[in-house]
């Protein structure tokens, strides 16, 4: 059996420095203070690396990022946050070589818990060799690792995997000691056969679901920029939210530009529902919590939005009416029909947000209730912070959205569905829902999937997405505790 052993940092990943991934663990598993502390230690870590004592710098990173953090939180970050940033840094030429072998082994300087999930699920690795965190009997990382993490120790572990026969190929930098164990060695940069057609290549599995608040990988310069911006962003978010609550709909687009926001509108929206007629159902892609609010701002009128997992705090702060669903089909159908009788309504049939260019499966309920369906393709761009979360405090979603320097929304109105494309012509609700999903995906350049809300939460949070509502006071305490470090 052909086998390959590849280094992760600097080979499968372009960046040889794992510092930014420890910063992600610090921010997502522990919080802002640990994130800032690790950045303060970066000059020391860099000097240790430059002086040939990289092992001590690596141990310092491990300690600062994980000491006192529960192992379940570290595993959660490794499952939900890190794969997206790893994938963005993949060297495709190295991957082409790595994926062409039957047995694949990945060697990493990071603790195995941080890389194993990504390597096995997305890179299809069979084994991952990395350091092991020392875990206390209470389930918390001590910040130390078992044994040494120098190259010679890694070589011993690689040799134990290949007792009968040497690995066929070793991929890594020239300093990687495990390369001497392999029959052949290749160092970066990698060059593959250019005549090989791209469509014939096996590509890494795409990262469809990911969590975490940070948009960009926190390299030292980017992390410093994020830390400097956070206090400004909190004040800016407070102003934007206050303005959004107090101003009438017709005035919001003008002030939004003054505060750095931008909305790009394409297509022609339908006129307001006339008296005596049922309203139009706007069927939107679901990118953030702000989708219905932005739509109402564009239309210059308050349009109620159908919601399920919206937090109590978000409901209170919402400048538009919200209609809470129960996930009981008959009850929800009656509620939506009652709202449509009053006027226009917004629904996001995906049931949850998706950050990547994919659309989740559409619930077919909306197609059963009306033939006046207007698809609306929503998309957004932010610079620093994601406005959605599966693991964190959902009440902070609008706050993080407005903390971005220049949030941009794109709203594309498609034509109302013709009668022959609705259930009135005899089409099934599922056919109508799938058709709407396809035309919205084509408009945005996205891909359709059969994944659902439940699939997303199983990947990111380890549950089925069932929401347990807490009191407004409890949610407010979570918000205050999150931002408390900035006011001390």
Higher pLDDT, 216 or 311: 216
- Would you state the pLDDT for residue 220? 96
- Would you state the pLDDT for residue 193? 59
Higher pLDDT, 397 or 255: 397
Residues 179-237 have pLDDT tens digits of 888 888 888 887 665 555 554 556 788 999 999 999 999 999 999 999 999 999 999 99
Contacts made by residues 234-241, CB under 8 angstroms, sequence distance 24+: 234/399, 234/403, 234/483, 234/486, 236/260, 236/402, 236/403, 236/405, 237/399, 237/400, 237/401, 237/402, 237/403, 240/402, 241/317, 241/398, 241/399, 241/402
Task: Pick the range with the lowest mean pLDDT from 54-58, 317-321, 441-445, 473-477.
Answer: 473-477
- Would you state the pLDDT for residue 450? 94
CA dihedral 161→166→168→171, nearest 10 degrees, is 60
Contacts made by residues 83-86, CB under 8 angstroms, sequence distance 24+: 83/117, 83/118, 83/121, 83/122, 83/207, 83/210, 84/207, 84/210, 84/212, 85/20, 85/21, 85/24, 85/217, 86/13, 86/21, 86/115, 86/118, 86/122
Nearest to 299 by CA among 324, 322, 274, 265: 265
pLDDT exceeds cutoff 50 at 487: no
Percent of the chain with pLDDT over 70: 90
Give the residue-averaged pLDDT of 260-271: 90
- Would you state the pLDDT for residue 486? 46
- Would you state the pLDDT for residue 274? 66
Nearest to 440 by CA among 340, 352, 353, 362: 362
Give the residue-averaged pLDDT of 376-394: 92
Give the residue-averaged pLDDT of 129-133: 90
pLDDT exceeds cutoff 60 at 55: yes
Residue 189, preceding peptide bond in cis (omega within 30° of 0): yes
Matching residue, tokens 């990911």: 210
Q: What is the rounded CA–CA span in Å between residue 49 and residue 47? A: 5
Is there a contact between 371 and 427 (Cβ–Cβ < 8 Å)?
A: no
Q: What is the secondary structure of 264-327 as a DSSP string? A: EEES-PPPPPPTTSPPPEEEE--SSTTHHHHHHHHHTS---EEESS--HHHHHH-SS-EEE--S
Domains, the chain: 3-200 (3.40.50.1000), 230-487 (no CATH)
- Would you state the pLDDT for residue 210? 94
**SS3 (DSSP) at 69:** coil
pLDDT band at 155 (very low <50, low <70, confident <90, very high): confident
pLDDT exceeds cutoff 70 at 268: yes
- Would you state the pLDDT for residue 124? 92
Classify strands 408-413 and 373-381 as parallel, antiparallel or unpaired. antiparallel
pLDDT exceeds cutoff 90 at 375: yes
Query: Exposed, middle or buried: residue 221 (CB in 10 Å: 0-12, 13-18, 19+)?
Result: exposed
Q: Which H/E stretch holds residue 460?
A: helix 453-460
Read off the tokens for 85: 């940033």
- Would you state the pLDDT for residue 295? 94
Q: What is the rounded CA–CA span in Å between residue 117 and residue 190? A: 25
Residues 417-472 have pLDDT tens digits of 999 999 988 899 999 999 999 999 999 999 999 999 999 999 898 776 665 554 44
Provide the 10 A C-beta neighbour count for residue 247. Answer: 16
Residues 75-127 have pLDDT tens digits of 999 999 999 999 999 999 999 999 989 899 999 989 999 999 999 999 999 99
Matching residue, tokens 């060799």: 129
- Would you state the pLDDT for residue 393? 84
Percent of the chain with pLDDT over 90: 56
pLDDT exceeds cutoff 90 at 277: no
- Would you state the pLDDT for residue 256? 82
pLDDT exceeds cutoff 70 at 413: yes
Read off the tokens for 123: 């890179």
- Would you state the pLDDT for residue 234? 95
- Would you state the pLDDT for residue 476? 47
Q: Which H/E stretch holds residue 262?
A: strand 262-266
Query: Exposed, middle or buried: residue 468 (CB in 10 Å: 0-12, 13-18, 19+)?
Result: exposed
Average pLDDT, the chain: 87
Higher pLDDT, 142 or 195: 142
Give the predicted TM-score (pTM) of the model: 0.88
Residues 321-361 have pLDDT tens digits of 888 888 888 888 999 988 888 889 999 999 899 999 999 99
């Amino acid at each position: 059996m052909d086998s390959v052993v590849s280094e992760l940092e600097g080979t499968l990943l372009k960046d040889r420095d794992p510092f930014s991934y420890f910063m992600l663990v610090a921010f997502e598993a522990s919080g802002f203070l640990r994130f800032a502390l690790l950045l303060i230690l970066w000059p020391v870590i860099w000097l240790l690396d430059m002086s040939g004592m990289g092992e001590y710098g690596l141990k310092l990173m491990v300690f600062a990022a994980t000491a006192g953090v529960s192992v379940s939180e570290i595993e959660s970050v490794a499952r939900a946050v890190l794969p997206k940033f790893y994938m963005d840094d993949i060297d495709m030429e190295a991957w082409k070589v790595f994926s062409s072998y039957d047995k694949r082994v990945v060697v990493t300087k990071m603790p195995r818990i941080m890389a194993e999930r990504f390597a096995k699920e997305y890179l299809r690795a069979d084994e991952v060799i990395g350091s092991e965190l020392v875990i206390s009997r209470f389930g918390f990382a001590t910040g130390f690792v078992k044994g040494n993490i120098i190259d010679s120790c890694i070589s011993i572990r690689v040799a134990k995997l290949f007792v009968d026969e040497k690995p066929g190929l070793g991929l890594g930098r020239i300093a990687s000691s495990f390369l001497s164990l392999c029959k052949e060695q290749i160092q970066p940069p990698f060059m593959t056969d250019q005549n090989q057609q791209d469509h014939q290549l096996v590509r890494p599995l795409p990262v469809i679901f990911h969590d975490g608040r940070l948009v960009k990988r926190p390299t030292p310069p980017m992390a410093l920029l994020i830390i400097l911006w956070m206090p400004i962003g909190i004040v800016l978010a407070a102003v934007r939210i206050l303005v959004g609550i107090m101003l009438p709909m017709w005035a919001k687009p003008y002030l939004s530009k003054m505060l750095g926001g931008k909305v790009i509108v394409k297509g022609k929206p339908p006129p307001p529902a006339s008296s005596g007629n049922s309203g139009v159902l706007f069927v939107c892609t679901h990118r953030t919590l702000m989708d219905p609010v932005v739509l109402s701002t564009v239309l210059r009128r308050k349009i109620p939005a159908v919601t399920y997992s919206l937090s109590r705090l978000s409901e209170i702060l919402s400048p538009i009416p919200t209609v809470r669903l129960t996930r009981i089909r008959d009850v929800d159908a009656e509620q939506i029909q009652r709202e449509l009788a009053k006027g226009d309504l917004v629904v996001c049939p995906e049931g949850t947000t998706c950050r990547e260019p994919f659309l989740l499966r559409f619930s077919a309920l909306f197609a059963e209730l009306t033939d006046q369906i207007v698809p609306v393709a929503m998309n957004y761009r932010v610079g620093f912070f994601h406005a959605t979360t599966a693991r964190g405090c959902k009440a902070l979603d609008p706050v993080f959205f407005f903390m971005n320097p220049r949030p941009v929304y794109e709203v594309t109105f498609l034509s109302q569905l013709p009668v022959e494309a609705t259930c009135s012509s005899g089409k099934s609700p599922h056919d109508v829902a799938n058709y709407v999903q396809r035309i919205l995906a084509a408009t945005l350049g996205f891909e359709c999937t059969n994944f659902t809300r439940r699939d997303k939460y199983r990947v990111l949070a380890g549950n089925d997405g069932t929401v347990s509502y807490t009191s407004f006071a409890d949610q407010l305490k979570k918000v205050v505790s999150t931002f408390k470090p900035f006011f001390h």
